[in-house]
Structure 1
Amino acid sequence: MQTDKPLKVMYLSPTGRDDYDQIFADMTAAHKLPNTEVHVTSLPPQDGAFTHIEFRSYEAMVTRGIIRATRAAAREGFDALAIGCFYDTALHDAREISGEMIVTAPCTASLEIATSLANRFGVIVGRRKWVDQMEATVRSNGQGDRLSGFYHVELGVNDFQVDHQRTNNLLLEAGRKAVEEDYAEALVLGCTLEVGFYKELEKELGVPVIDPSIAAFKRAEYAALLKRQCGWIPSRKWSCEAPPEDEIARFGGFDDGEFFGSRIVVPAETITANAA
């Protein structure tokens, strides 16, 4: 007979282009549970043809798209959604509008995993520009005292996948400083497009290295599993209160037009059991 209904998880790239969607689709295919169906999506091009959101002004521009996409995913019946940017862009805003769907993002997810593996962690980031905002997120998650530091390699988001050997060398140099000079016991990669580099760094440095795109996806999947098995659904009380539906309908802008640009579906595996 066929197994239970698959978990449905969305990995949302908060950009208006699909340049990297296949990278994330391959990542989810390699790490998902058999009974999980994953949709890798990005925002519609009309939300802005961003290939990255390194700047706060870019984040502000795509926040509306993230909110709309989150609401649309919840209405499609997804169990969980991961917002694919290490700034955790619009995470709390999206949670407010997500109904019973669980929402997470790379920085928050990576910290949860890193601090379960070690007492002290460092974060390798692309550019010094990012540090102030990311450090605020680390501290807002209550992990500032366990942070060894931020280690920037002066690569922008679009640079990580251009020359893999150069990227790996720069990440390794930063990782050595974090581990050997500042005594980090785990490392977090601070950009979702650093996907795929963690294994070589772990081998060279001898500490766990958290890939944030994997972390965000797996935390979303795990939360979906717990919701299914334990009935743990998001709270909608007090600070988590959702806006009234009558106001949403009256104000407009939430539910009209296109919510997604591209979409790649990574299907659940069909598992059958033969009768004894």
Structure 2
Amino acid sequence: MKIKVINPNTTLEMTEGIEHAAKSAARPDTQILAVSPKMGPISIESYYDEYLSIPGVIEEIIKGEKEGVDAYVIACYGDPGLQAAREVTDKPVVGIAEASLYLASMLAARFSVVTVLPRIKTMLEELVDSYGMSRRVVNIRTTPLSVLDFEKDPERGMKMLEEEGEKAVSEDNAEAILLGCAGMADFADKLEEKLGVPVIDGVVAGVKFAESIVDLGKKTSKLKTYKYPEKKEYTGLLDTFGDQAAVK
């Protein structure tokens, strides 16, 4: 099968790290196609960044329909564009936050998220609530580092994650830790060894869920909510999206 893993930001170094994590989890017979959109922010750390990344994500989904893709993974912890992406394909589309939360709920009663800058906390609280996981997530812990800081200084990034992870276990009584950024994949195994609880990277979780859904032969329901968008005119920068989205 072919799984397209979309990094919604345009930092190619981060996409390469995401590709490595995805391939490390995928089966030998699974082809991973890791991409960044041609348009969008270099990192996603605000509502503004997130919303402006969505057209690029949708465009990559539309391209994937012509590339023979069997499933998609949106590799940003805000799951930007996830619901809209499900409208333009009948293939499974998995968000890495959604996947990590569902996986954690099967492994632990309560868990904490460790993520990037403090400003993202409210965004993730709202996301967690939208997935019905507010009672399971005991805390969302932030670090002083941006998304790109983890790319530039992984040693410091590991130190910050370890510090917040230890607090999550000792102060939050978290029984698992979720890494709240797609660029944190390389830290998961070392953190799990140090903290003594499951540490879940969303990219890995997303790939395994995508594989499982394809194996089960399931597709996105087109009955009502996620049916293909109605054909209509879009103008300005979005003038090509109307005809492309309503392909069925």
Q: TM-score, normalised by structure 2?
A: 0.91
Counterpart residue type for residue 204 of structure 1: K
Residue 62 in 1 paired to residue 53 in 2? yes
Residue 254 in 1 paired to residue 245 in 2? no
Per-residue deviation, residues 126-169 of structure 1 (Å, max 9, x unmatched): 11111111111111111111111011111100011222222111
Residue 190 in 1 paired to residue 163 in 2? no
- With over 3 angstroms needed to count, the CA separation of the structure-2 counterparts of 1:52 and 1:249, relative to structure 1, is closer
Is the 8 Å Cα contact of residues 19 and 51 (structure 1) preserved in structure 2?
Answer: no
Per-residue deviation, residues 240-264 of structure 1 (Å, max 9, x unmatched): 22213x447999512899xxxxxxx
Per-residue deviation, residues 225-253 of structure 1 (Å, max 9, x unmatched): 222xxxx2110122222213x44799951
* Residue number among 37, 40, 43 corresponding to 2:37 in the alignment: 43
**Partner Cα distance (1:17, 1:149) in 2:** 29
1:1-276 aligned at under 5 Å gives the runs 7-44=1-38, 47-48=39-40, 50-98=41-89, 100-227=90-217, 232-244=218-230, 246-247=231-232, 252-254=239-241
Q: TM-score, normalised by structure 1?
A: 0.82
- Secondary structure of 1:20's aligned partner: helix
Shift of 1:110: 0.4
- With over 3 angstroms needed to count, the CA separation of the structure-2 counterparts of 1:28 and 1:255, relative to structure 1, is farther
Shift of 1:78: 0.9
- Secondary structure of 2:9's aligned partner: coil
- Secondary structure of 2:80's aligned partner: coil
Could you say which structure has the greater relative contact order, defined with CA pairs below 8 angstroms and 6 or more residues apart?
1
Is the 8 Å Cα contact of residues 72 and 255 (structure 1) preserved in structure 2?
Answer: no
Counterpart residue type for residue 159 of structure 1: D
Q: Percent identity?
A: 31
Corresponding residue for 1:272?
none
Q: CA RMSD in A?
A: 2.1
Corresponding residue for 1:266?
none
**Partner Cα distance (1:249, 1:126) in 2:** 35
Is the 8 Å Cα contact of residues 148 and 184 (structure 1) preserved in structure 2?
Answer: yes
**Partner Cα distance (1:147, 1:62) in 2:** 26
Shift of 1:109: 0.6
**Partner Cα distance (2:212, 2:202) in 1:** 15
**Partner Cα distance (1:164, 1:17) in 2:** 16
Counterpart residue type for residue 33 of structure 1: R
Residue segments in structure 1 that go unaligned for 5+ positions in a row: 1-6, 258-276
Q: Report how many residues are paired.
A: 242
Residue segments in structure 2 that go unaligned for 5+ positions in a row: none
